[in-house]
Amino acid sequence: MLAPAVSLWMDQTEHLRVSRESVRAPLDVDVAIIGAGYTGLWTAWYLKQHAPELNIAIFEAQHVGYGASGRNGGWLLGRILGEEKMLAGWPEPERGALMAELKGIPDSVEQVLVQEGIDCGYRKGGVLTCAARYPEQQQWLLDELKALYAHGHSEEDYRLLSAHELSQQLRMHQAYGAIYSPHCATIHPAQLALGLATSLERKGVRIYEDSRVQAWRKGVLTVAGHPVCAQWVVPCVEGYATETKALRDYQLTVQSLQIATEPLSVSQWDEIGLHNGQAAHESSRQVTYFHRTRDDRLVFGARGSYRFGGKLREQFRLTEDEVKLRRDLMLDLFPQLAKTPISHGWGGNLGMTRHFRPYMLCDEAGGVACAGGYGGEGVGASYLAGRTLADLILKRDTLLSRAPWVVRNQSLRKALRRWEPEPLRWLGYSAVIAAFSYEDAVLANPRSSALRRKLSSKAAAGISRLMSPEFKVG
Ligand SMILES: Cc1cc2nc3c(=O)[nH]c(=O)nc-3n(C[C@H](O)[C@H](O)[C@H](O)COP(=O)(O)OP(=O)(O)OC[C@H]3O[C@@H](n4cnc5c(N)ncnc54)[C@H](O)[C@@H]3O)c2cc1C
């Protein structure tokens, strides 16, 4: 198995990569963006869209797409983490308009891709949330559907599929049914990041690589040892927040890991399905997510991890155990792949706020705008964040700039809830994972008694409330 330096996606786009200069002298810009992932790139794109005269520079510690944006599972979702809670009680008609905006994220991204000529394998095949492996997932699916309808979604947005209906799209061992939503596309993550960078450079945005921002305060940054003056500082570092003093207590770093098979044959895919670029996952408390790549691999991600102190993971050479855990889960669903080699394994850092919801913040007095806390749902959310930060910086009064996830004229310290100090975070995380893993093992074992099944689920649900009912690891 290959251990790519960054990811399968980055290996596949090696030929598209250009090396960019690093900062070698003092600079003066209007907007200094920290991080060349989707959030930074989309923010620059929308700033240029509304104010082409702006002098914008992006400073990236490594290279474009080095972070989660060049490593993710390729799901471009038309939703954001915790949207139900954030929109609950929000006045109409804005609430309905914001829900439509979120569902429309894949289509809005596609419009830009077409406009900019970015080929990143965009396929809008929707997403299947499947009940599989054990029958309890059927009830969880129904509970989820009920909550989605209570939030205001319709059957056009989320539709229950019987096992037979699911089998017309995806065939898995022990599948009981699914919820299908059309609001998701799959993309090639690195092609999106590199494509956006190229289009920004055409518009005059300067992107500096190997240019770590070592410090920043109002109006001035230190980048690779050089001073940079900027009216606006826009940190877009998501999973790397742990290295940034101003963010580290609010945006926790966690990891997600994935494996990819060698390309499967036509007959293997005929057996599995997923012919339209659908994304799919299980409705278990622990996350598994997968899709069929453009070059016919099955990319499979599952479970997450947390390192004491929110420590960043730099090296994603997966251990045998890390690969085995994901491969075993994949084989539970697709036993016919037992002889298929795993070609790649990798992972990345992502960011979580204490509320398990993203935020988009603009502090005019401090000259800072930033966004993050997308959890494992950041491909679409970072697009929304880029658009929203541009509106906020340019003082555009729009639907997005008034959304409930927007924080205006407050510092991070005032706006976000602090994570508990260690060892509480680590203990909380470990307890939740232990309870989830125990529940999963009990439920996946057909010989487990009804009482044991019930108790394990009660324990998992109860203990997860320690963190948040929305807590998922993936
Ligand atoms: C394995 C994995 C799978 C995922 N799958 C999905 C998925 O399928 N769908 C989904 O919606 N979301 C998914 N996510 C989440 C999603 O990828 C991220 O939320 C999103 O890419 C975040 O983009 P970003 O630009 O905010 O951060 P990043 O892409 O992490 O970019 C941050 C950048 O900042 C740079 N940086 C950090 N510190 C500094 C500094 N001091 N100076 C200069 N540069 C700095 C980093 O090098 C990095 O390039 C996944 C994440 C992972 C890790």
Closest CA to 284 of 431, 138, 448: 138
Does 61 contact ligand 1 (Cβ within 6 A)?
A: yes
- pLDDT, tens digit, for every residue of 296-306? 999 999 888 89
Does 82 contact ligand 1 (Cβ within 6 A)?
A: no
- Please list, in sequence order, all residues whose beta carbon lies within 8 angstroms of the beta carbon of residue 68, skipping any fewer than 6 positions away: 37, 238, 239, 348, 349, 350, 378
Does 256 contact ligand 1 (Cβ within 6 A)?
A: yes
Ligand 1 nearest atom to the CA of residue 380, by list position: 11
What one-character-per-residue DSSP string does 94-106 give? HHHHHHHHHHTHH
- pLDDT, residue 41, reads 99
Does 258 contact ligand 1 (Cβ within 6 A)?
A: yes
Ligand 1 nearest atom to the CA of residue 351, by list position: 19
- pLDDT, residue 22, reads 98
The separation between CA 158 and the C-alpha centre of its own chain, rounded to angstroms, equals: 20
* C-alpha of residue 89 to centroid of ligand 1, in Å: 31
Q: What is the mean pLDDT of each run of 10 residues along the chain (474 residues)?
A: 88 93 98 98 98 98 98 97 94 97 98 98 98 96 96 96 98 97 98 98 98 96 98 98 91 95 98 97 90 97 91 95 95 97 97 94 95 96 98 98 94 87 92 91 96 95 75 54
Half-sphere exposure of residue 436, counting CA atoms within 13 Å on the CB side?
23
- pLDDT, residue 162, reads 98
- pLDDT, residue 472, reads 57
- pLDDT, residue 469, reads 57
- pLDDT, residue 304, reads 86
- pLDDT, residue 410, reads 84
The predicted model scores a pTM of 0.97
